[in-house]
Structure 1
Amino acid sequence: MPETNPPTLLSIDLGVLLDTPMPERRWLLSPWLREQESVLVWAAPGVGKTMLTLSLALAIAGGGSLLGWTAPRPARVLFIDGEMPLDDLKARLGSLAASVEGIDLAAARANLMILARHHQCPDTPFPDFGAENQQDQVLSLIRSYQPDLVILDNLSTLATMDDENGAAETQRVVRLLTRLKQARIATVVVHHSGKSGRAYRGSSMLATTFEAIIGLTKEPGADALDASGTARFNIEWSKFRGRRDASVGDRLVHLKETAGVLRWSSEMPQDEVLNALAALTRTGRFTTRAAVGAALPEHLWPTLGSPPSAGWISGQFRMAGAKGIIGKVEVDNILGAAREATEGDLHDDL
């Protein structure tokens, strides 16, 4: 077979670049995943990362909403699984479909494709995402499904890496993810945490290509996944290149079964809110508790899109006092000093 020359490198000068109309990249899941973007989701075993990523796959394939994130339209999703038996995938997807608000189930059935290692015959070679000599085949295989998004669950079972901390081996995976971006395919990579459970496993070089890195951590002393298949964990955003809104922030997430139906819900980590109130109060810029509460970042509001009420703010200050984060006397003194300073400025103006 004759050798084919690689395509010539393309360049563009600034004038042409500025004058060239660029099609806007579509949202696959607003506000944190667009076409050509890649995301890393990591957690310790058993925390619930597959439950979350299967739900994301359903939402994107069926044009639904999940935890305040919305797929504007159904899109094609290829879910590549390296460890789960097909019957477990079927059971989980069947039970999770109802947890996605507004899902078009008919669209999801057509758009979500499953490529599972345990669905194959024992002698059928399965792609190795860590092998550089297989990258052309892997890319061709993925593109044959014409997906808008590919989810790799999980990196440890899909990519052979003798040393996950080795920069050279990690770079091979990064190159594959980069080529998927060039093909206008978004990617979600599922990965395990390190021994500490506080960061993903392996080389920091892995982070270079991702627009977002999302860690799932369980609450201290709590079981993350129980016998019913429900999950409870904290979502932590350690990297996000886009513009944050209330739905892109650290919070506690719960997948709970009620009357036989699974539902996702979330709440802000309480101490994060209380510490934020204390920090804002101590700036000395506010004269009332209500003003302090109104200055909270949107992602700490109790309800997405709705500013906190005066009653909720008062309750949070009481909780902060009970937990020893900032006491009533200190709050009163700081707010009082701010009021005196404001009144003094008004007097001077007169």
Structure 2
Amino acid sequence: MALPKKPAAAEPLEWIALPHELYEATCAELLTFSHKTVNSNAPAGGIRLAPAQALRLPYVSARTLLGAGEVPALDYPANAGKTATAVKQLNQLREGIATAPADESERILAMLARATARGVQIGTGKVSLRARQLLLPRQGGYVSATPMTAGGVSQTIRARVREHNDRVKETKDESLQRIPVAVFGLGGSNPQNVGSLVRDMQRPLVFFAPTENRDLRAVLALHFQGVRIRLPRPLLRSFRDWCADCRRRNGGRIPTTMDTRDEEIAHIRAIARAVLAQGDAARERLLAQRDVLPAGGTPLISAEADPLARGLVDPDLRDGDWPRAFAARLAALIADYRFSDGREEFQFEQADIFQLQAMIEEVAR
């Protein structure tokens, strides 16, 4: 059986000797953000960030890469003459893969370090008609901003994505997911007019909108808002029919006999217990899915939720005034309930509502 052929060794990169004046002029104009990334026909120009503009924040951008100690690759404002070659070889020197003589490498790298130790703005005196503008509200007015792409950030992201996707392919780890990228035709027929990093900008990440998880949404709503009281319609209809029957048999009013009183209390207790059971069910649901709640479900229900709703879900959050507040809320909801079925509605006066409240409070304590 024939042995597989060894892959051919990569040939060393060819180093092209260029005038140091060209390197010096090129280094002075290297940019983090270039106008050409917005429109390849825009006038040359852009911005180079200074080290002092670094930020330490938990997201990826040119400034946060600086804050993490990583300098994004820089680009030229426009491709003219040997500029593209000079920038290509500067990047090879930065990456340690250039084949330049040692003394020349040191000289050019020192020149690059001096030039890029400070920020610069080129061609920013006026906004080109070919540039896009966004008006952002600020202090009662607006500020105009032109979004530009940092090719160095695209290069860093593309390198990380390649490393990740190669690891997924090699390890076949099912817990890892391949990151998809798209093909973005930036730069037209001659992409190099945009910049030396245009190839990296042509491979943007692809994201798909998350599908709605209704169960998760409901659990989070319970956590942040608490449970909303839902009156048990069958029990209310039974109570309504009992009230109407009592009035028909007693000249339009509900008698105050002991038997009638016990029957009314039984109806109200059933309604109150059904509502309290809604809180118990909500609590069990939150406990069962505690792992998806903020801070692991501690507290189980947000401190920003309505105190009454919090107490309904978690009995430990009920203070001494909670039963009375719950009774007042539930009594008002019962009195205002409308069946809209063409039959008689509740006909409670304020004294009747107070009596309902007292019955409910006894159940809630």
TM-score, L = length of structure 1:
0.22
Structure with higher helix content = 2
Structure with higher strand content = 1
Larger Rg computed on CA atoms: 2
Higher relative contact order (CA 8 A, sep 6+): 1
TM-score, L = length of structure 2:
0.22
